[in-house]
Amino acid sequence: MREIENKEEMRELIGEWRRAGDDVALVPTMGNLHVGHLHLINVAREHADRVVVSIFVNPTQFGEDEDYEKYPRTIEKDKLQLKRVKTDALFMPDVETIYPFGTDSATSVTVPVLTEEFCGSFRPGHFDGVTTVVSRLFSLVQPEVAVFGEKDFQQLLIVKRLVEDLSLPIKVISAETQREKDGLAISSRNQYLSEEERKKAPELYSVLQSMRSEILNDADHFGELEKNAVFDLERIGFAPEYVSIRKADDLGEPEPGERRLVILAAVYLGETRLIDNVTINL
Ligand code: PAF
């Protein structure tokens, strides 16, 4: 695995691969890798000859009261995992490489509307940070393929929209959410849960799955289903930010007869914010 910190070296390597006829998949991450990331890398491998994983803890996607400084940086452990899943290159730029004019003067990329609700309304500026850094990584690595997890469903749709709207020659591939045996979606944040909280955490997925079953059994009173889910989650001990049934294609309000839906949720369990979603094809 090549370990690369600067953009010149990254470009050179990509150029070599291109000349050899190889295409490239990028898996952007913030490190602290877990099984979910390794799955993204395996999916990338199915779609391209070369796989580049980037690790960059992006300061512009953290709010002022969020955990940028405290975000777990576990680079040596990450490298061991990457070697095991066969990664061609690990790109680890520093903040100056990604933001040569500083973060405050950085050209920023915004995808309106799709970024405004759900996580966007609870984490103002977060998605602008994501689309800004993803655009920069795309331009530095110039991949044919990029892989994002379905766990961050809103982020996935936003990146797809960015690529389509700017006609970027990149195929965005989504990779299924990886779960623990008890259903909890795998996330770096799970490590913050206390033993007690960890026991409760899978109930988030259970509540979403019961909603899904009701919808599959023809329930169409979505507002009521959402309210009941919030009530159930609160009863279990979660503090929900939102539980929402939307169109899976653009997160719009579903019209009667809509066939592709997603149920999105974000909750706090103690100090830890968890998100999850399930999709429904009727
Ligand atoms: O999903 C993430 O880990 C981050 O939002 C991403 C896409 C790597 C951008 O920093």
Distances (CA, A) of 227 to 9, 80, 118, 139, 242: 52, 44, 16, 43, 10
* Mean pLDDT calculated for residue range 151-175: 98
- Please name every residue paired with 242 in a beta bridge, in sequence order, or none if there are none: 266
Beta carbons of 5 and 97 less than 8 angstroms apart: yes
In a domain, 267, yes or no: yes
Residue 83: pLDDT band with limits 50, 70, 90? very high
Active-site pick, 34, 37, 47, 221: 37
Which residue has a Cα nearest atom 2 of ligand 1?
29
In this structure, the answer to whether residues 194 and 120 fall within a common structural domain is: no
- Tokens linked to 23: 């295409």
Pocket test for ligand 1, best of 127, 152, 277 (most atoms within 8 A of CB): 152
In this structure, the answer to whether residues 19 and 83 fall within a common structural domain is: yes
Ligand 1-lining residues (CB < 6 angstroms): 28-30, 58, 61, 130, 133-134, 152, 155
How far, in Å, is the centroid of ligand 1 from the Cα of 218? 36
* Mean pLDDT calculated for residue range 141-161: 98
CA angle 245, 239, 39 (to 5 degrees): 65
* Mean pLDDT calculated for residue range 122-130: 97
Pocket test for ligand 1, best of 30, 123, 156 (most atoms within 8 A of CB): 30
DSSP H helical ranges for the chain: 7-19, 35-47, 75-84, 95-98, 119-122, 126-141, 153-165, 195-200, 203-216, 222-236
* Mean pLDDT calculated for residue range 60-76: 94
Residue 275: pLDDT band with limits 50, 70, 90? very high
* Mean pLDDT calculated for residue range 40-65: 97
- Please name every residue paired with 266 in a beta bridge, in sequence order, or none if there are none: 242, 275
Using the 8-state DSSP alphabet, how is residue 179 labeled?
Answer: B
The pTM of this model reads: 0.98
Can you list the pairs that 242-248 forms with residues at least 24 positions away whose Cβ atoms lie under 8 Å?
242/118, 242/122, 242/266, 243/207, 243/208, 243/211, 244/117, 244/118, 245/211, 245/215, 248/279, 248/280
Over the stretch 222-265, which tens digit does the pLDDT of each residue have? 999 999 999 999 999 999 999 999 999 999 999 989 999 999 99
Which residue has a Cα nearest atom 8 of ligand 1?
29
pLDDT at 278 over 90: yes
Helix, strand, coil shares of the chain, percent, nearest 5, are: 40, 20, 40
In this structure, the answer to whether residues 195 and 75 fall within a common structural domain is: no
* Distance separating alpha carbons of residues 57 and 42, to the nearest angstrom: 22
In this structure, the answer to whether residues 90 and 198 fall within a common structural domain is: no
pLDDT at 276 over 90: yes
pLDDT at 96 over 90: yes
- What is the structure's pLDDT at 52? 98
Burial 211-221 (b: 16+ CB within 10 A, else e): bbebbeeeeee
pLDDT at 65 over 90: no
Name which of 47, 27, 5 is nearest 159 in CA terms.
Answer: 27
In this structure, the answer to whether residues 170 and 219 fall within a common structural domain is: no
Provide the number of structural domains found in the chain.
Answer: 2
- Tokens linked to 147: 């892989």
In a domain, 52, yes or no: yes
| CATH code assigned at 250 | 3.30.1300.10
In this structure, the answer to whether residues 90 and 219 fall within a common structural domain is: no
Counting every residue written for the chain, the total comes to 282
How many CB atoms lie under 10 A from the CB of residue 185? 24
Which residue has a Cα nearest atom 6 of ligand 1?
29
pLDDT at 105 over 90: yes
How far, in Å, is the centroid of ligand 1 from the Cα of 15? 25
Q: Which atom of ligand 1 is nearest to the CA of 159?
A: 7
Q: Which atom of ligand 1 is nearest to the CA of 149?
A: 1
* Mean pLDDT calculated for residue range 169-185: 98
Range of the domain at 221: 188-281
Domain boundary residue among 129, 147, 175? 175
- What is the structure's pLDDT at 140? 98
- For all residues of the chain together, what is the average pLDDT? 97
How far, in Å, is the centroid of ligand 1 from the Cα of 31? 9
Cβ-based neighbours of 209, under 8 Å, separated by 6 or more: 183, 278
Residue 277: pLDDT band with limits 50, 70, 90? very high
pLDDT at 67 over 90: no
In this structure, the answer to whether residues 150 and 171 fall within a common structural domain is: yes
Q: Residue with structure tokens 């002022």?
A: 64
Beta carbons of 21 and 50 less than 8 angstroms apart: no
Over the stretch 30-41, which tens digit does the pLDDT of each residue have? 999 999 999 999
- Residue 37 is among the residues annotated as catalytic for this protein: yes
- What is the structure's pLDDT at 248? 98
In this structure, the answer to whether residues 161 and 24 fall within a common structural domain is: yes
In this structure, the answer to whether residues 22 and 118 fall within a common structural domain is: yes
Over the stretch 254-267, which tens digit does the pLDDT of each residue have? 998 999 999 999 99
Say which amino acid occupies 188: S
